[in-house]
Chain A
Amino acid sequence: MSTHASHKKRTGLMDWLTTVDHKKIGILYLLSGGFFFLIGGLEAILMRIQLIKPENDFVSAEMFNQLLTMHGTTMIFLAAMPIIFAFMNAIVPLQIGARDVAFPYVNAVGFWLFFFGGVLLNMSWFLGGAPDAGWTAYAPLSTVSAGHGVDFYVLGLQIAGAGTLAGGINFLVTIINMRAPGMTFMRMPLFTWASFVTSGLILFAFPALTVGFFLLMFERVFGAHFFNADMGGNVLIWEHIFWIFGHPEVYILILPAFGIISEIVSTFSKKRLFGYSAMVFATVLIGFLGFMVWVHHMFTVGLGAVANSIFAVATMAIAIPTGVKIFNWIFTMWGGQIRFTAPMLFAVGFIPTFVMGGVTGVMLSVPAADYQYHDSYFVVAHFHYVIVGGLVLGLFAGLYYWYPRMFNRVLNDTLGKWNFWLFFIGFHLTFFPQHWLGLMGMPRRVFTYMSGQQLDTSNFVSTIGALLMGAGTIVLFINIIISASKKNIASADPWDGRTLEWAMPVPTPEYNFAQTPLVRGLDALYVEKTAGNGKMTPAEPVGEIHMPNGSILPFIMSVGMFISGFGFIYANWYAAGGGLGIVLITMFLRSVIDDHGYHIHKEEVEADIKGGRA
């Protein structure tokens, strides 16, 4: 049977470059996403230092434009999305009782494309200046921007975006096809549901962005005229395409955070999630409505009262399913045995903070009022409340919660609480005053302001808050270093978990489940715990397990894309063609080399079970 089981065990760096294991890819996503998160955070702090006092000259206006563009772009595409993919990779297959994702090889391709796209984009700092047209890259600002900054933006994000799209399809198929016996859709944990909907949004939102980037690239590199009014172009095409992608994108970001919060609130309240089916329905509904509201970013464009009204009403409607979620989290905690561990603290801090961001969102959805708020610091305050106060707090919560499963160590809870309070207080200090700044007329994206306009104090407080957030993040890194230096391995189920990712020993065996588990209800592990079993009932006898082989091709393919990206940026057609040639060759090799993976023998699995390793 296993005649072709020629399986080389790779070690060290080569293992990480060739891995197709979703658990390792999850760690790769987390490390690179975390790295870009630090860079994006540093850019934010530099901007805040510039704004600490009126008419400051800490950075130049040009530098400020690059910092604000790269901060937004990095945080959205290179920090938030990869960290979300980190948790999806590390946790979703475990939560549905699968041994891997549907396309392990494509998973690796997706990661390396994101990685090299991100590196390409950041190379711009060293090669004549970063993009400076804002993360939205509105035409004609982006089409006339001098230098190569915006070219780096277009090609870096195009490459990273291709990786994201591949990841989205992968998780959709994984969740549809690879669920363990008994794991019906309505028994899936909320994080898996959120990942499912998010992947769907990626599938239908990213192709629009792909085209948008192609148009911008053709305009800048090949002299096309999509956005050039002199030649019959129209800049609104870019705005529509960007926001047809861009609005679903913010739900792509926030839904997984909703999922994480749902898991944590339920676990640390020792109660099943209140209103599970309503939560699922709300998640799907938010995903659907997310596609119907993009014009609220363009209220001041002048599309007319009818268009503005329709999109205003659609936008307000999103508050309803979101409100359902907020109440369900509160009702889940109601009467529960709440344990305020670090992850729970982040989750509880998330709820009121996100509500505040939601409320300003409804304010902004009124077109008449939006004319006042548009492009002011009020908008900056709003989206940081939902993205930092919502998503980032959710990601911190998820990190503390799933860290034992991903890295086999528990993070120190006291340091975690320091992390939370520093970050949480710093966050509100930073962004709450920005509401006033906006209402008082301070426009967003300005590199300085005059004194005597009553903007000084709020800006000063805001900068202090940003430094506190930075301090909170440093505490997290101290915590990680301390946990890594300790010898003791986490227990398999440190939080008294309810879902399947806590049903196997630590470290997680490479095949996840020695025997595919039989799921007998929502909160599959908790069902077994209350039934007195304490562990999952297997759905199959112990047998041979089929595993995919690692491959270096995803890495090489992404290097090819990286080279080709440089070629297009500098209009060097040899490099552009050569890079694409490498991509085509790796695709060709992948299709002509037979690779059927290898098998882990029944005896090895039995030995693992006996030794407590599986």
Chain B
Amino acid sequence: MHADERLTDANFPDHPEKATLEGKNKFLGFWLFLGGETVLFATLFGTYLGLRNMHMDGPAGEEIFKLPMVFVATMLLLTSSLTSVYSVLAMKQNRVKAMQGWFIVTLILGLAFLGLEIYEFVEYVHEGHTFTSSAFGSAFYTLVGFHGGHVLFGCLWIATLLARNWNRGLTLVNAPKYYLFALYWHFVDVVWVFIFTVVYLMGKVG
């Protein structure tokens, strides 16, 4: 069987994402990359935690953070993490349409999250909390912005992946790519769990 042949129900492997050496390599390499990303975000979190009370003349986190909006953003991202897991489940059963559908839902939720984040940033800037207003401002926008950048990259990634493979079904070449995207998306959600806890919730209690 050829790696880029469309898989059928008869020859469908248990783990299409790891059925070839290339797939295994990508799977492992991406996990290790996520290990490195953990350190990357930890450094950003550490910087933020070191500087979070240094808001100088600008507003403190307590005064500006809007928990309802953060809660909605959290629900969007959490749900998108679930829908990407549904995609992977559908992938394992070779249900291509279902997989594509759930990924599209994931993409839409991701875009909605991004929109909300941009709206939030604009609000903050109006209230005097900017990137250059204080060490707290710089650290806040860097940390949350890096996460937002990851969401944006994920949206571009899944959109490209879906468009390119729309009519090609599942193959041993594209299955690892879908799987990796799902891992990435979960990781982005993991980071957000810490952002809403450490930045927003802890910011409310000072």
Interface residues of A (CB under 8 A from B): 1, 102-103, 165, 169-170, 172-173, 176-178, 203-208, 210-212, 214-215, 218-219, 222-226, 228, 231-234, 237, 240-241, 244, 584, 588, 591-592, 594, 596
A-side contacts of B51, CB under 8 Å = 226, 232-234, 237
Give chain A's interface secondary structure class. Answer: helix
Verify A592–B135 contact, CB threshold 8 A.
Answer: no
Verify B25–A165 contact, CB threshold 8 A.
Answer: no
Known: A169-B29, A222-B132, A234-B50. 5 other contacts (CB 8 A): A170-B29, A224-B131, A226-B142, A232-B56, A584-B156
* Closest-CB distance, B8 to chain A (whole angstroms): 19
CB of B35 within 8 A of chain A?
yes
Give chain B's interface secondary structure class. Answer: helix
A-side contacts of B161, CB under 8 Å = 591
Verify B3–A226 contact, CB threshold 8 A.
Answer: no
Verify A204–B36 contact, CB threshold 8 A.
Answer: yes
Greatest chain B CB density within 10 A among A231, A233, A591 is at A231
B-side contacts of A211, CB under 8 Å = 40, 43-44, 47
B-side contacts of A219, CB under 8 Å = 138
CB of B134 within 8 A of chain A?
yes
* Closest-CB distance, A252 to chain B (whole angstroms): 14
B-side contacts of A204, CB under 8 Å = 35-36, 39
B30-54 interface with A by 8 A CB criterion: 32-33, 35-37, 39-40, 43-44, 46-47, 50-51, 54
Verify A233–B160 contact, CB threshold 8 A.
Answer: no
Verify B56–A215 contact, CB threshold 8 A.
Answer: no
Verify B25–A215 contact, CB threshold 8 A.
Answer: no
Choose among A173, A206, A584 the residue that contacts B25 (Cβ–Cβ < 8 A).
A173
Given contacts A170-B29, A203-B35, contact A218 B164 (CB under 8 A): no
* Closest-CB distance, A579 to chain B (whole angstroms): 17
A446→B39 CA distance, assembly (Å): 36
A223→B133 CA distance, assembly (Å): 10
B132-169 interface with A by 8 A CB criterion: 132, 134-139, 142, 156, 160-161, 164
CB of B28 within 8 A of chain A?
yes
* Closest-CB distance, A220 to chain B (whole angstroms): 12
Verify B28–A176 contact, CB threshold 8 A.
Answer: yes
A357→B188 CA distance, assembly (Å): 44
Verify B139–A169 contact, CB threshold 8 A.
Answer: no
Verify A173–B160 contact, CB threshold 8 A.
Answer: no
Verify B32–A203 contact, CB threshold 8 A.
Answer: yes
Choose among A1, A210, A212, A228 the residue that contacts B135 (Cβ–Cβ < 8 A).
A228
Interface range on chain B: under 10, 10 to 19, 20 to 34, or 35 or more?
35 or more
CB of B186 within 8 A of chain A?
no
* Closest-CB distance, B140 to chain A (whole angstroms): 11
A-side contacts of B32, CB under 8 Å = 169, 172-173, 203
B-side contacts of A233, CB under 8 Å = 51, 54, 135, 138
Verify B29–A218 contact, CB threshold 8 A.
Answer: no
Verify B3–A237 contact, CB threshold 8 A.
Answer: no
Greatest chain A CB density within 10 A among B4, B44, B132, B161 is at B132
CB of B173 within 8 A of chain A?
yes
A-side contacts of B36, CB under 8 Å = 165, 169, 203-204, 206-207
The 5 closest A-B pairs by CB, nearest first: A232-B54, A232-B135, A207-B40, A224-B138, A211-B43
Find the B residue at minimum CB distance from A224: B138
CB of B204 within 8 A of chain A?
no
Choose among A102, A176, A223 the residue that contacts B132 (Cβ–Cβ < 8 A).
A223
A102→B138 CA distance, assembly (Å): 39
Given contacts A218-B142, A591-B160, contact A232 B39 (CB under 8 A): no
Verify A231–B134 contact, CB threshold 8 A.
Answer: yes
A-side contacts of B33, CB under 8 Å = 169
A-side contacts of B205, CB under 8 Å = none
Verify B131–A226 contact, CB threshold 8 A.
Answer: no
Find the B residue at minimum CB distance from A203: B36
Find the B residue at minimum CB distance from A101: B25
A223→B21 CA distance, assembly (Å): 47
Pairs across A and B, CB under 8 Å, 30 listed: A103-B25, A169-B33, A173-B28, A177-B24, A178-B21, A203-B32, A203-B35, A203-B36, A211-B43, A212-B43, A218-B138, A218-B142, A222-B131, A224-B132, A224-B138, A224-B142, A225-B138, A232-B135, A233-B135, A234-B51, A237-B47, A237-B50, A240-B46, A241-B47, A244-B43, A584-B156, A591-B164, A592-B160, A594-B173, A596-B173
A-side contacts of B4, CB under 8 Å = 594, 596
Find the A residue at minimum CB distance from B52: A232
* Closest-CB distance, B146 to chain A (whole angstroms): 8
A-side contacts of B6, CB under 8 Å = none
A225→B47 CA distance, assembly (Å): 11
Verify A592–B164 contact, CB threshold 8 A.
Answer: yes
* Closest-CB distance, B69 to chain A (whole angstroms): 24
A178→B21 CA distance, assembly (Å): 9
* Closest-CB distance, A73 to chain B (whole angstroms): 21
Given contacts A211-B40, A596-B4, contact A231 B160 (CB under 8 A): no
Chain B window 161-181, contacts with chain A (Cβ cutoff 8 Å), 1 for yes, 0 for no = 100100000000100010000
CB of B95 within 8 A of chain A?
no
Find the B residue at minimum CB distance from A206: B36
* Closest-CB distance, B131 to chain A (whole angstroms): 6
A-side contacts of B21, CB under 8 Å = 177-178
Find the B residue at minimum CB distance from A106: B29
* Closest-CB distance, B21 to chain A (whole angstroms): 7
A90→B21 CA distance, assembly (Å): 21
A205→B131 CA distance, assembly (Å): 27
A-side contacts of B173, CB under 8 Å = 594, 596
A524→B162 CA distance, assembly (Å): 46
Choose among B2, B29, B47, B134 the residue that contacts A103 (Cβ–Cβ < 8 A).
B29
* Closest-CB distance, B189 to chain A (whole angstroms): 19
Greatest chain A CB density within 10 A among B138, B139, B142 is at B138
A175→B40 CA distance, assembly (Å): 24
Choose among A207, A218, A224 the residue that contacts B43 (Cβ–Cβ < 8 A).
A207
Verify B47–A177 contact, CB threshold 8 A.
Answer: no
Greatest chain B CB density within 10 A among A1, A176, A206, A224 is at A224
